Amino acid sequence: MTLLRIATRGSRLALAQSRWVAVRIEAALGVATELVAVRTSGDRLQDVSLAEVGGKGLFVKELEDALLAGRAELAVHSAKDLPARLPDGLVLAAFPERADPRDALVSGGRVRALAALPRGARVGTGSARRAALLRAQRPDLQVAALRGNVTTRLDRLDAGRAGDGALQAVILACAGLDRLGLAERIDERVDAGVLLPAVGQGVLAIEARAGEPLAEDLAALTHADTARAIAAERAFLARLQGDCNVPLAAFAEAVGPARLRLRGLVARPDGRRVVRGEAEGADPAALGDEVAEKLLAQGAREILAALRAGAAP
């Protein structure tokens, strides 16, 4: 094969990430690449909550359809957008080295830390996880729903200098800002102990058709520690059957040559209860299951059941 077509979302960030992957594929495999921009349902439905229309999987489905239909040979995703289950016939073939997994406070220079935001400050986020943890950490803040790509969210912050709807800060992913060359916009890289990252945050996932030689060839791009961490985080996600309606988080990191530490949590949307757990182990899948079971035993089961029933947990 002399040309690999890479399915990607058409946002500025997605294209930057896919170009980054394309350069590494060309160097590792010695083949030319071409980006195939696909507009996903998640990109089209900017005026509604993701939780109302199917979750973050809407950023993935059309890219996977392009793979299954043969319009592309691989797809590049932000790993945090991937549902716990993949369609039949597809496989996650590679995970390059993780970028900064932390959340970023962007305030336009108003403050330099989340703790320094004034009481009643209005903070924008499109993430159920971030919203719940902000409310848990700072119940005095006003958390505002915010959709759109990175540039749109920054523009909303920059435009609102006064008025009831003005934002004093937004919470975004450090990795996305770094990849766009916007690291200078970050006022604080928030410690993971304060805002535990989403499953897969900071990681790019390369998806391909199962059973094809390309899927094996792409493994050359995998960073071993990143792949092990993602395996633990995604096992946690799968055990809890999590989606974007659920404020949950999981972050794994190496603590030795063959051991991982996994921290996880499930929260009520209002932040009034956050169930946390952690463990260490050598088997990523077993570790993800272990931390998930700890949370279920401590009250996450009731929170999840209430969320799925549409009731207040």
Parallel, antiparallel or unpaired: strands 204-209 and 259-267: unpaired
| Residue type for position 58 | L
C-alpha 7/C-alpha 207 separation (Å) is 10
- DSSP character string of the chain: --EEEEEEE-SHHHHHHHHHHHHHHHHHH--EEEEEEE--HHHH-TTS-HHHHT-GGGGTHHHHHHHHTTS-SEEEEEGGG--SSPPTTEEEEE-PPP---SEEEE-TTS-SSGGGSPTT-EEEES-HHHHHHHHHH-TTSEEEE--S-HHHHHHHHHH-SSSTT--SEEEEEHHHHHHTT-GGG-SEEE-TTTSPPPTTTT-EEEEEETTSHHHHHGGGG--HHHHHHHHHHHHHHHHHT--TTS-EEEEEEEEETTEEEEEEEEE-TTSS-EEEEEEEES-HHHHHHHHHHHHIIIIIHHHHHHHHHTS--
| Alpha-carbon torsion (291, 294, 295, 296), positive or negative | positive
Whole-number CA gyration radius for the chain: 19
Show which residues are catalytic.
Answer: 81
